[in-house]
């Protein structure tokens, strides 16, 4: 619940409600990016950025190396697959 999974923003879906398509471990899902958008990082500049996704919300920016490290850690801890499977089941429902 608390670790979060890194994902890469591939597309801005809704500018008004700050929804972006994020590739999380191969699953693409809509994610709310409100918490990672500010004057320095406007929504339109977010495509390509790596973010830490908790429960469908991007909570922090990551650089690519940090993202790779976190993905490796989660894979080792065995915590990631259940969430990815759940995301597949639930689908992109935002």
Partner 1 sequence: MKYMDEFRDPATAKKLVEEIKRLAPIARGQREMPLQIMEFCGGHTHTLFKYGIASMLPADIEMVHGPGCPVCVLPMARVDDCVAIAEQPSVIFTTFGDAMRVPGTRKSLLQAKADGCDVRMVYSPMDALAIARKNPEREVVFFALGFETTMPSTALTLLQAYREGLKNFSLFCNHITTPATMRAILTDPDLRLDGFLAPGHVSMVIGAHPYDFVTRDYRKPLVITGFEPLDILQALWMLVKQFAEGRCEVENQYARIVPEAGNVAGLKAIAEVYETREHSEFRGLGNIGDAGVQIRDDYAAYDAEKKFGLPIDFAQGAVGYDPEHLKCADVLRGVMKPWECPAFAKTCNPQNPLGALMVSPEGSCAAYYAYGKLAKRS
Which one of 7-15, 43-51, 82-90 is the stretch in contact with partner 1 (CB under 8 A)? 82-90
Which one of 7-15, 42-50, 58-66 is the stretch in contact with partner 1 (CB under 8 A)? 58-66
Interaction between residue 83 and partner 1 (CB under 8 A): yes
Closest-CA residue to 87 (of 7, 33, 10): 7
Q: Tell me whether residue 41 or residue 47 sits nearer to partner 1 (CB atom).
A: 41
Residues 6+ positions from 88 with CB-CB distance below 8 Å: 27
Interaction between residue 3 and partner 1 (CB under 8 A): yes
Q: In the set 11, 15, 42, 68, which binds partner 1 (CB under 8 A)?
A: 68
12: which strand partners? 20
Q: Tell me whether residue 44 or residue 65 sits nearer to partner 1 (CB atom).
A: 65
Degrees to nearest 5, angle at CA 68 with 30 and 92: 15
In sign, the C-alpha dihedral spanning 1, 68, 53, 93 is negative
Kindly state the smallest distance separating residue 84's Cβ from partner 1, in Å: 9
């Amino acid at each position: 619940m608390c670790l979060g999974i890194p994902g890469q923003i591939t597309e801005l879906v809704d500018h008004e409600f700050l929804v972006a398509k994020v590739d999380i471990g191969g699953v693409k899902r809509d994610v709310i990016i409100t918490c990672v958008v500010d004057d320095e990082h406007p929504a339109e500049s977010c495509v390509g950025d790596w973010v830490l996704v908790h429960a469908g919300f991007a909570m922090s920016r990551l650089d690519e190396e940090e993202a790779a490290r976190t993905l490796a850690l989660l894979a080792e801890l065995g915590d990631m697959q259940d969430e990815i499977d759940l995301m597949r089941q639930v689908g992109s429902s935002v």
